[in-house]
Structure 1
Amino acid sequence: PDGDEFDLDALVDAAIARRSGHAVEPRVYRRTQTTRDVGSTLLLLDTSASTAAVLPAAREAALRGAASIERAGGECAIHSFCSDGRHAVHYTQVKAFGQTLGPACIERLMTLRSRLSTRLGAALRHATHLIAQRHGVLRRVLLLTDGRPHDVDVHDPHYLLEDARQAVREAARSGVLMQCVSLDAAARKPLQRVFGPGRVHSLKAMAATLTR
């Protein structure tokens, strides 16, 4: 390899190009540079069935976001979730904290598929538990979702949103910042009630959100 570590931007571009069937740039290494600690961010992807149309964009956004965070000197994890009732919340660590954002992580991310339901509160609580153990100056969970919580054993359409809202309050008491990227413009208003003013962003604004 021509360099000491992965060039994250080149690696991301190569992965996306490969998935699109385009030519791949072979130079994905660079010389190590000193960076500063900007805290810990957990990118949490909603992979429930309703995200099928937007999941490809969410995967790419998570990949570029993780590269941006680590390039700035922060640490980043990428996790995903879906559910099939309160006793079957499927939570996956695509990239763990401290793990290199390399080809293996990228392959796991790019092969995520939409399935099952969306139990937001349970996933947010588990993400909070994991990131609360980090020691950076900032501990943040950034959820990427279409904002349509649903599960097979819940019949009240407002219950899951209220449960997620309570999970956000609990995270704040633990010193964890909760933010959200809405993958569906129509869902921004209910998501703002969950996360609070200024905490719900569009996909286009995600990069700026991560560098603040």
Structure 2
Amino acid sequence: SDYRPRWCRVGERLAEEGDTDFYDETLRKHHGLVTDTRRQFEMMRPESFRRIKRLEDGEEIDLDRAIEFIVDKRAGVGPLAQVYWRRNKVERDVAVAFLMDMSASTDEEIDKQKVDYSDDDEFNGDPRNYFQWLSQRRALRAIEPPKRIVDLEKESLVMIVEALEAIGDSYGIYGFSGYGRDNVEYHVIKDLGENFSDRVRRRIDKIQPIRSTRMGPAVRHTVAKLNEYDAKVKILILVSDGRPQDHGYGRDRTEKEYAVHDTHQALMEAKRSGVVPFLITVDKEGHDYMKQMCSDVGYEVVDEIEQLPRRLTTLYRALAAD
């Protein structure tokens, strides 16, 4: 067997902090989408209370159960007087970990020929000023530095954080990269159980391309974190821009299958432990290896990379709907 337990060294570290400008600017640029997403997530909240019946003590008497009790008692059955009910507050019990690819390839610029005007309808001022606003917006867009894959990953995190804060689900955000089996870098942007704060906003700002993509160990480390966290539903969402690859992540320099098999094995281990894994890639050629890597795991290839922020929130809603 080629399975190598305890083969890699994962170095967990707290992510560096930048400033909050990126987070705040993303909220400003995508105000309409953020507002709509937050509203949709708020609709996922369960009913506030669930009625618990057949109690010996409670808020009110359950008349149907009281009649049954009297009938049974007269018949000599002698049941317990469980004739009360009370309302129990229902809470969502979901924990999700987002694992973000911080490999060097995420520094790649998005196709400059594709200009995204999808947010030109986010104007919410006086309609008479719309065209002036639109002209200024497009002028600013023209002088903005080219957007990279990692920038879209960061924007996606801003969107999902705003949505999750609205619904109250527990979440962690982690990034991974490294070089070689002895140096799998694992960056904690927000740990499970950590409160959202300006420190998290500043860490999102500093997410940046680093080195390679040794997925298997990063998945296993994240699953271990989820398994230590107390939640009924546990979800792992991995966001990447390509296939797993790293120095020594195969039998030789040209062999790529071992990395795919190792990641598949890590995902199967996640499922067996009760974690629901899901992979999202912006690699248009991703179907070639994702079918093999995710044979029993959900995945999506995002063909239009600019749609990543919208797709991430939509997919999470579907995964956590129950």
TM-score in terms of structure 2 length: 0.54
- Compared CA separation, residues 177 and 110, structure 1 to 2 (3 A): same
Counterpart pick for 2:179 among 84, 94, 97:
84
Counterpart pick for 2:152 among 42, 57, 71:
57
Residue 145 of structure 1 corresponds to which residue in structure 2?
A: 240
The code of the aligned residue for 2:268 comes to R
Measured after TM superposition, the shift of residue 15 of structure 1 is 4.5
CA distance in 1, matches of 2:293, 2:215: 10
Counterpart contact for 1:82–1:90, Cα < 8 Å: yes
What SS does the corresponding residue of 1:185 show, helix, strand or coil?
A: coil
Counterpart contact for 1:77–1:95, Cα < 8 Å: yes
- Compared CA separation, residues 176 and 12, structure 1 to 2 (3 A): farther
1:165-197: CA deviations, max 9, x gaps? 000001111001110111222214422322236
What SS does the corresponding residue of 1:44 show, helix, strand or coil?
A: strand
Residue 266 of structure 2 corresponds to which residue in structure 1?
A: 167
Aligned CA RMSD, in angstroms, stands at 2.4
- Compared CA separation, residues 12 and 38, structure 1 to 2 (3 A): farther
Counterpart pick for 2:276 among 173, 177, 180:
177
The code of the aligned residue for 1:209 comes to L
1:43-85: CA deviations, max 9, x gaps? 0001011111311101111221132223222111100000210
Residue 126 of structure 1 corresponds to which residue in structure 2?
A: 221
Counterpart contact for 1:12–1:63, Cα < 8 Å: no
Q: Which has the higher contact order (CA 8 A, sep 6+)?
A: 2
Higher mean C-alpha deviation, range 188-197 or range 126-135: 188-197
TM-score in terms of structure 1 length: 0.80
Counterpart contact for 1:95–1:101, Cα < 8 Å: yes
Residue 207 of structure 1 corresponds to which residue in structure 2?
A: 313
CA distance in 2, matches of 1:188, 1:70: 33
The code of the aligned residue for 2:97 comes to L
Measured after TM superposition, the shift of residue 17 of structure 1 is 5.7
Counterpart pick for 1:16 among 19, 26, 46:
26
Higher mean C-alpha deviation, range 161-170 or range 57-66: 57-66
Measured after TM superposition, the shift of residue 102 of structure 1 is 2.2
1:110 is aligned to 2:202: no
CA distance in 2, matches of 1:189, 1:152: 21
Measured after TM superposition, the shift of residue 150 of structure 1 is 1.4
CA distance in 1, matches of 2:157, 2:220: 20
CA distance in 1, matches of 2:274, 2:178: 26
Could you tell me which runs of 5 or more consecutive residues in structure 1 were left unpaired when the two chains were aligned: 1-10, 21-32
CA distance in 2, matches of 1:62, 1:194: 24
Counterpart pick for 2:290 among 170, 191, 198:
191
The code of the aligned residue for 1:43 comes to F
Structure 1 segments (4+ residues) deviating >6 Å? none
- Compared CA separation, residues 96 and 184, structure 1 to 2 (3 A): same
CA distance in 1, matches of 2:25, 2:186: 24
Could you tell me which runs of 5 or more consecutive residues in structure 2 were left unpaired when the two chains were aligned: 1-20, 30-44, 49-89, 109-148, 303-307
- Compared CA separation, residues 17 and 123, structure 1 to 2 (3 A): same
Between the two proteins, what is the percent identity of the paired residues? Answer: 23
- Compared CA separation, residues 15 and 103, structure 1 to 2 (3 A): farther
Counterpart contact for 2:97–2:236, Cα < 8 Å: yes
Counterpart contact for 2:23–2:158, Cα < 8 Å: no
- Compared CA separation, residues 189 and 105, structure 1 to 2 (3 A): same
1:8-56: CA deviations, max 9, x gaps? xxx99624268x8xxxxxxxxxxxx989424000000010111113111
CA distance in 1, matches of 2:91, 2:279: 25
What SS does the corresponding residue of 1:122 show, helix, strand or coil?
A: helix
**Larger gyration radius, structure 1 or structure 2:** 2
Counterpart contact for 1:69–1:211, Cα < 8 Å: no
Counterpart contact for 1:171–1:178, Cα < 8 Å: yes
The code of the aligned residue for 1:143 comes to L
